[in-house]
Amino acid sequence: MAIVRPFRGIRPAGALADKMISLPYDVMNREEAAKMAEGNPYSFLHICRSEIDLPEVENPYTEEVYAKAKSNIENYLKDGILLRDEEPFLYIYKQVMDGRAQTGIVGCVSIDEYLNNTIKKHEFTRVEKEIDRINHFDRCNTNTEPVFLTYRDDKRLRTIIEGWMSSHAPEYDFVTEDGIGHTLWVISDRSLVDALTTLFGETEALYIADGHHRSASAVKVGQKRRNEHPDYTGEEEFNFFMAVIFPDSDLKIFDYNRVVKDLNGLSEEDFLNKISDKFEVLPVAEGPYRPEGKHIFGMYLKDQWYKLSAKSEIICEEDVIQCLDVSILQDHLLDPVLGIKDPRTDKRIDFVGGIRGLKELERRVSLDMTVAFALHPVSIADLLAVSDKDMVMPPKSTWFEPKLGSGLFMHEL
């Protein structure tokens, strides 16, 4: 089963929602966050990146930064910029990007189901990255930003959601500067809330699409609160964390491409000869070249695009990890030919989200890199298959767009 339950959202006053919304905290650095929030006292970046309000503080992970986030929340509530719903609700959150919509339920999910793997993962997390959000959530007494979850589409859930959307006016409905549409409905009918939670209860599993570190941090805050309150019943809000839960059929994974600084001491001719052992290499007359299917790659080298097709002997369809294109490229080219053993730590490789386009690969090669590789996107089916086997995707495998907006809802612990 999957527990999804309503919560009393802390949300911006309606007229301020389009001013408060921001990108997630982890997609920009401090300087970028400060520039994004410049001249906007309502920006959610004053909460999720509160170090921008403390320019004299060099370390963004100090207690002073977390205390500032908490005080900003309190001040927004006092001034009516943020409002606290009087009773628990589920919410519908719809995003539209380039004409494609993804519509999810905003609710709370169980830390126990994260721990027992009913909420399935596909990435490792790093403790040092978790600590920041642990301190942030704990000090703010709030899950300030949601986790991005998915589930196998269920027509019964979709019918209820679409029915509410078609018969009720949204609380927020606006388009941000990046062209993304954001619409939020509050499901105030208790019988429909109960119907949705019952149907989610029949779902075998939920899957983390994006936000593994936020999930892990929220769970560890819940465990910390349990240790502080040994008489807890399991119903306290700290036993749950906030998520937006989308059906898998709504989601799109973009390619996550690679650029490499050098050819590992090889000449261009030697490099092309070496990769020809495992890949069919075909120059492309006109670029940029976007791979049209699995096990096909684009490569940009010396102002020339190539089509690389993995030879059959290196494709292991029986292994859900080894047959991923990110694994094929790593195991049969980046490691043995270019000497990149660990793409997590090797400074010679960088990663470019597909939302930036293939021209960005050309730009990087002209600027500071030597060769670029364009990949076919991982499918949602691949992600679910890996998660179902309790396995982990290779690093930098998935890039989801649009990103969840931050600041439209918070969950008080």
Tens digit of each residue's pLDDT (9 = 90 or more) over 18-36 = 999 999 999 899 999 999 9
* pLDDT digits 0-9 by tens, 353-405: 999 999 999 999 999 999 999 999 999 999 999 999 999 999 899 999 999 99
Classify residue 330 by its DSSP letter.
Answer: I
Tell me if 388 is assigned to some domain.
no
Q: What is the CATH number of the domain that holds 300?
A: 3.30.1760
Is 83 in the same domain as 223?
A: yes
Task: Indicate whether 293 pLDDT > 90.
Answer: yes
Is 224 in the same domain as 307?
A: no
pLDDT at 292: 95
| Mean pLDDT of the 257-280 span | 98
Query: What is the signed CA dihedral for 304, 305, 311, 316, rounded to 10 degrees?
Result: 130
Is 105 in the same domain as 225?
A: yes
Tell me if 124 is assigned to some domain.
yes
pLDDT at 372: 98
What 158-165 contacts at long range (C-beta under 8 Å, 24+ apart), as own/partner pairs, is: 158/247, 160/192, 160/195, 160/196, 160/199, 161/92, 161/103, 161/105, 161/196, 162/103, 164/92, 164/189, 164/192, 165/92, 165/94, 165/103
pLDDT at 69: 98
Confidence of residue 98 (pLDDT cuts 50, 70, 90): very high
Tell me if 385 is assigned to some domain.
no
* Mean of all residue pLDDT scores within the chain: 96
Tell me if 221 is assigned to some domain.
yes
Is 170 in the same domain as 212?
A: yes
Alpha-carbon gap, residue 290 to 312, rounded angstroms: 21
pLDDT > 90: percent of the chain: 94
Tell me if 140 is assigned to some domain.
yes
Tell me if 112 is assigned to some domain.
yes
Confidence of residue 128 (pLDDT cuts 50, 70, 90): confident
Confidence of residue 344 (pLDDT cuts 50, 70, 90): confident
pLDDT at 413: 97
Tokens for 319, please give them: 């292994």
pLDDT at 232: 98
Is 29 in the same domain as 166?
A: yes
Is 227 in the same domain as 369?
A: no
Task: Indicate whether 318 pLDDT > 90.
Answer: no
In the block, tokens 């490691």 appear at 335
Q: How far is CA 351 from CA 81, 115, 121, 392, in A?
A: 38, 30, 21, 18
Task: Indicate whether 121 pLDDT > 90.
Answer: yes
Range list of H helices, 305-369? 325-329, 359-367
pLDDT at 71: 98
Is 278 in the same domain as 370?
A: yes
Contacts of 198 (CB under 8 A, 6+ apart): none
Quote the domain boundaries for residue 366.
256-376
Confidence of residue 339 (pLDDT cuts 50, 70, 90): very high
Task: Indicate whether 118 pLDDT > 90.
Answer: yes
Confidence of residue 129 (pLDDT cuts 50, 70, 90): confident
> Which secondary structure element, helix H or strand E, spans residue 158, and what is its range?
helix 155-167
pLDDT at 202: 96
Is 215 in the same domain as 156?
A: yes
The count of domains in the chain is 2
In the block, tokens 């969840």 appear at 404
| Mean pLDDT of the 268-290 span | 97
pLDDT at 296: 98
Query: Rg (Cα) of the chain, in Å, rounded?
Result: 23
Tell me if 393 is assigned to some domain.
no
Higher pLDDT: 129 or 150? It is 150
Is 220 in the same domain as 298?
A: no
pLDDT at 317: 81
pLDDT at 126: 84
Is 307 in the same domain as 226?
A: no
Tell me if 26 is assigned to some domain.
yes
Is 321 in the same domain as 278?
A: yes
Task: Indicate whether 235 pLDDT > 90.
Answer: yes
Tell me whether strands 371-375 and 296-301 are parallel, antiparallel or unpaired.
Answer: antiparallel
* pLDDT digits 0-9 by tens, 165-184: 999 999 999 999 999 999 99
Is 244 in the same domain as 162?
A: yes
